[in-house]
Amino acid sequence: MTTRSTRFVSYEYQHGPAVGAVVGDEIVDLSDAGKSLRTVIASGPLDNLQTVIARRKPSVKLDHVVFHQVVPDTARIICVGKNYRDHAKEMGGEPPANPNLFVRTPKSLVGHNQSIVCPRASAQFDYEGELAVIIGKGGRRISADRALGHVAGYSCFMDGSVRDYQKHSFTAGKNFDSSGACGPWLVPAGEVPDPQALKIETRVNGQVMQSASTAEMIYSVADIIAYCSIFTHLEPGDVIATGTPAGVAAGRTPPPWLKPGDRVEVEIERIGVLANTVIAENV
């Protein structure tokens, strides 16, 4: 799986947080277009920046920067649970009759190549690779046939789950600080003709743990956006994680829980690879 698309990235280098476009292995700075990727998205279609990008020289190599999660200042991260039938089965439940939603806080996520934290309070830290959708055009009561027109782009998502806490508090189990990740960048929606035709794979220390197609989702990206917009006005920069396929640690015997030193990679066709190393909590 390779990435050949225009990519937009939230990063930090020398002068604090910035937003840019990836050109090859370098970044073209776009900080004058907005203080964050969220404000850039809100200002209009990302395609409007193509001429600017083409005229500018890159300012820094990708391997010299610190990656932030794709939309660091996002207002909301809406996640969908049990959105693949095989995953619902391995977790011991029936497929949901409607999209099964929960939320994550921005503080629970880190960016590409950042460390994810294995909580001291748990011995059941799990991985979940997912497709993330970033809203570009806000709206309420968006119909499914118009929903993809509200998407700015897509990214990779690692929904780190603390399973023992999740059993008694779903909110706690999904929101330990720095337990998940989103990145490495945003690929514009125009570069992904069909979000339901993408190969998704999660690897731990190089071993494939999850491998599926987004075609296997119970509720499509369009369905999810339409459902969410029934109860809330979606805003530019909102992130929606669309669920994970089968193969999580909790569904295996014995469960291969994440531990400090593990390397987790979520790779999605047309988008790229989100990679993070697990570290022990030190507070």
pLDDT at res. 136 = 97
Please state which of the ranges 91-95, 158-162, 274-278 shows the lowest mean pLDDT.
Answer: 91-95
Q: Report yes or no: 200 and 214 within 8 Å, Cβ to Cβ.
A: yes
How far apart are alpha carbons 208 and 120 in whole angstroms? Answer: 26
pLDDT at res. 93 = 78
How far apart are alpha carbons 113 and 115 in whole angstroms? Answer: 7
Q: Report yes or no: 185 and 272 within 8 Å, Cβ to Cβ.
A: yes
Q: Report yes or no: 208 and 264 within 8 Å, Cβ to Cβ.
A: no
Handedness of CA 70, 71, 77, 78 (dihedral sign): negative
pLDDT at 2 over 90: no
pLDDT confidence band for 17 (50 / 70 / 90): very high
The residue with tokens 């494939």 is 208
The residue with tokens 């409007």 is 48
Residue 189 phi, psi dihedral angles, 5° rounding: -55, -35
Q: Spell out the domain ranges in the chain.
A: 7-67, 77-280
Class of domain 77-280: alpha beta
SS3 106: helix
Q: Indicate the burial class of 78 (C-beta count within 10 angstroms; 0-12, 13-18, 19 or more).
A: buried
How far apart are alpha carbons 199 and 262 in whole angstroms? Answer: 23
pLDDT confidence band for 263 (50 / 70 / 90): very high
Q: Report yes or no: 157 and 182 within 8 Å, Cβ to Cβ.
A: yes
What is the per-residue pLDDT across 222-248, written as a single tens digit (0 to 9) for each? 999 999 999 999 999 999 999 999 999
Which of 254, 222, 211, 270 minimizes the C-alpha distance to 87? 211
SS3 101: strand
Q: Report yes or no: 67 and 109 within 8 Å, Cβ to Cβ.
A: no
How far apart are alpha carbons 86 and 92 in whole angstroms? Answer: 10
